[in-house]
Amino acid sequence: MGLRIYNSLTNQTDEFVPIEDGEVSMYNCGPTVYDYFHIGNARTFLIADVIRRYLEYKGYQVKFVQNFTDIDNKIINRANEKGVSASQLSKKYIDAYFEDSQKLGIRSADVHPKATDHIPEMIQLIQQMIDKEIAYEVDGDVYYRIHKFSDYGKLSNRKPEDLLSGARVDIDKRKENPRDFDLWKSVKPNEPSWSCPWGCGRPGWHIECSAMAMKHLGESIDIHAGGQDLQFPHHENEIAQSEVLTGKTFARYWIHTAFLRISGNRMGKSEQNFIYVRDALKDYPAETIRHFLISAHYRSPLDYNEASLSDSNSAVRRLYNCLSRISSYSEFADSGIDVGGSEIAHTTSAMMTSFESAMDEDFNTALAVGEIYKLVGHVNRFLTQEQEQLMEADRVALGVAYQSLTKVCMVLGIYTELESTTNRNTLLVNQLMELVIDIRKDSRARKDWVTADKVRDWLHEAGIELQDTPSGTNWKWKGN
């Protein structure tokens, strides 16, 4: 069975068929860079990262674009408060985005376009809309006539006539229709501005993403992703701007990530209840935070709390402990020995099938993680019971289990080869433990019981247990 994606555009789970065979173009709405990003923002960026990694795992060549909104009301206000320019402020937070996202194991996009580098493209789109009478200019502001686009509301399932009810409406007498949205804002004091055929000013937020997505990925893209809060009006307006000009479907699959909640409320800047990623990373390793953020399906709400983080922390340690116990068998994996009868081999192959089924069904990371831990539990039980008489086939099967586990964990980013502190620390601990075990072995061979006992006592205090077996000495953290 192939990949299926819940598509906000069709309100159903659709089979994924890219425009070009074997290739995927994907656009994710990036941060507005006026502050550090918080764990709630991180969920959206991380889910896009996992989707991208899984598409690559399936063999697609993915072109992934994530923008920076570096001109916006919030940026201008914050820059004026701080007495710096909007570009100085946005540069600081673009650098911080890269620093924090890399620590969190979120890969950089293929292109990270900045809105301010695409002003000519935006002006061109707006001019085309003015020429076609889709847009109109009043005192240097330019608005989009939503009644000119008959499909307006198709993403958010809102009819233009319903748009006035409920939502807060900007009452501006200069607009023909209160729901017409701005494409361009005329210049104001203390604001950056660019010149254009209808006067100086700056772009509206929605036109930024239409211009950047179409410039870097073409008029039709496969996947457009973003947080649930962007579905309306941001994404609805992106569709309206792009499709009214091209006559083509702007994005075929729309993916929206649910909110991260804290104490029952949405985590957000406006709610003042957020935790910066850089602060969370002081308390937990990156893999723990990633593990937590993918522990629920991306369309389900997820609650940020200490207990869940602590559970994820233990789970990641259990995973790493298992991987370190079987990493030495990796070299046997390609030996060509038949492991058909091995229980570990059977469980590994079942895990791979279930992992792919879970991810193929709208990227169900919660189920996928569960499948990984079934195998981890099985390997741990097997090692405890069978360690003393491992057969050749068992070693090979454990090697295959190691390779399979690292492969799927890398897709989810909960195991990152040599990239992360946790992993570096784990490797370092393993190397030091090999050394310590060697010292103890040599001491015992020399009948130096004082040193040998000292080593055992010291390890005991550090929470490490040794297990002597005929094939050598193994170690584990107590309680694992």
What is the DSSP secondary structure assignment for residue 52, as one 8-state letter? Answer: H
Instruction: Give whichever of 29 and 351 is closer to Zn ion, judged by the CB atom.
Output: 29
Which span (208-216, 266-274, 356-364, 415-423) binds Zn ion, by CB under 5 A? 208-216
Instruction: Give whichever of 252 and 290 is closer to Zn ion, judged by the CB atom.
Output: 252
Phi-psi map region of 59: left, alpha, beta (phi>0 left; psi -120 to 50 alpha)? left
Which span (27-35, 151-159, 302-310, 341-349) binds Zn ion, by CB under 5 A? 27-35
**Which residues lie across from 285 on neighbouring strands?**
none
CA 79 to chain centre: 28
Helix (H, G, I), strand (E, B) or coil at 137: strand
Least distance (Å) between residue 288 CB and Zn ion? 29
Instruction: State how far the Cα of 43 lies from the Cα of 69, in Å rounded to an integer.
Output: 18
Which span (24-32, 115-123, 246-254, 349-357) binds Zn ion, by CB under 5 A? 24-32
Least distance (Å) between residue 236 CB and Zn ion? 11
**Which residues lie across from 477 on neighbouring strands?**
464
Residues 6 or more apart in contact with residue 436 via CB below 8 angstroms: 455, 459
Which span (22-30, 44-52, 132-140, 156-164) binds Zn ion, by CB under 5 A? 22-30
Number of residues that bind Zn ion (CB under 5 A): 2
Instruction: State how far the Cα of 278 lies from the Cα of 284, in Å rounded to an integer.
Output: 10
CB atoms < 10 A from the CB of 458, how many?
Answer: 11
Which span (41-49, 202-210, 435-443, 472-480) binds Zn ion, by CB under 5 A? 202-210
Least distance (Å) between residue 252 CB and Zn ion? 17
Instruction: State how far the Cα of 212 lies from the Cα of 124, in Å rounded to an integer.
Output: 12
Number of helical (H) and strand (E) elements in the chain, helices listed first: 14, 15
Least distance (Å) between residue 319 CB and Zn ion? 35
Which span (114-122, 209-217, 357-365, 449-457) binds Zn ion, by CB under 5 A? 209-217
Which span (1-9, 153-161, 207-215, 281-289) binds Zn ion, by CB under 5 A? 207-215
Instruction: Give whichever of 251 and 433 is closer to Zn ion, judged by the CB atom.
Output: 251
Instruction: Give whichever of 229 and 311 is closer to Zn ion, judged by the CB atom.
Output: 229
What is the DSSP secondary structure assignment for residue 361, as one 8-state letter? Answer: B
Instruction: Give whichever of 67 and 342 is closer to Zn ion, judged by the CB atom.
Output: 67
Sheet holding 201-203, edge to edge: 135-138, 141-144, 181-186, 201-203
Least distance (Å) between residue 110 CB and Zn ion? 17
What is the DSSP secondary structure assignment for residue 37, as one 8-state letter? Answer: -
Identify the helix (H) or strand (E) that includes residue 295.
none
- Per-residue contact track with Zn ion, 368 to 407, x per CB under 5 A? ----------------------------------------
CB atoms < 10 A from the CB of 301, how many?
Answer: 12
Least distance (Å) between residue 253 CB and Zn ion? 16
Least distance (Å) between residue 302 CB and Zn ion? 22
Instruction: Give whichever of 75 and 209 is closer to Zn ion, judged by the CB atom.
Output: 209
- Per-residue contact track with Zn ion, 431 to 470, x per CB under 5 A? ----------------------------------------
Identify the residue among 48, 50, 86, 209 touching Zn ion (CB under 5 A): 209
Least distance (Å) between residue 132 CB and Zn ion? 23
Residues 6 or more apart in contact with residue 257 via CB below 8 angstroms: 43, 44, 47, 48, 225, 226, 227, 228, 298, 299
Instruction: State how far the Cα of 89 lies from the Cα of 407, in Å rounded to an integer.
Output: 39
Least distance (Å) between residue 39 CB and Zn ion? 20
Least distance (Å) between residue 437 CB and Zn ion? 54
The residues in 248-277 that bind Zn ion, with binding defined as CB under 5 A, are: none
Q: Does residue 29 interact with Zn ion by CB under 5 A?
A: yes
Instruction: State how far the Cα of 478 lies from the Cα of 480, in Å rounded to an integer.
Output: 6
Compute the CA torsion angle 273, 279, 284, 289 (nearest 10 deg).
60
HSE of 35 in the Cβ direction (CA atoms, 13 Å)?
17
Instruction: Give whichever of 231 and 357 is closer to Zn ion, judged by the CB atom.
Output: 231
CB distance 377 to 20 below 8 Å: no
Least distance (Å) between residue 131 CB and Zn ion? 24
Sheet holding 265-266, edge to edge: 265-266, 260-262, 302-304
3-state secondary structure 310-325: HHHHHHHHHHHHHHHH
Instruction: Give whichever of 29 and 344 is closer to Zn ion, judged by the CB atom.
Output: 29
The residues in 233-252 that bind Zn ion, with binding defined as CB under 5 A, are: none
Instruction: Give whichever of 72 and 191 is closer to Zn ion, judged by the CB atom.
Output: 72
The residue count for the chain: 480
Instruction: Give whichever of 209 and 239 is closer to Zn ion, judged by the CB atom.
Output: 209
Least distance (Å) between residue 72 CB and Zn ion? 11
- Where along the sequence are the contacts to Zn ion (CB under 5 A)? 29, 209
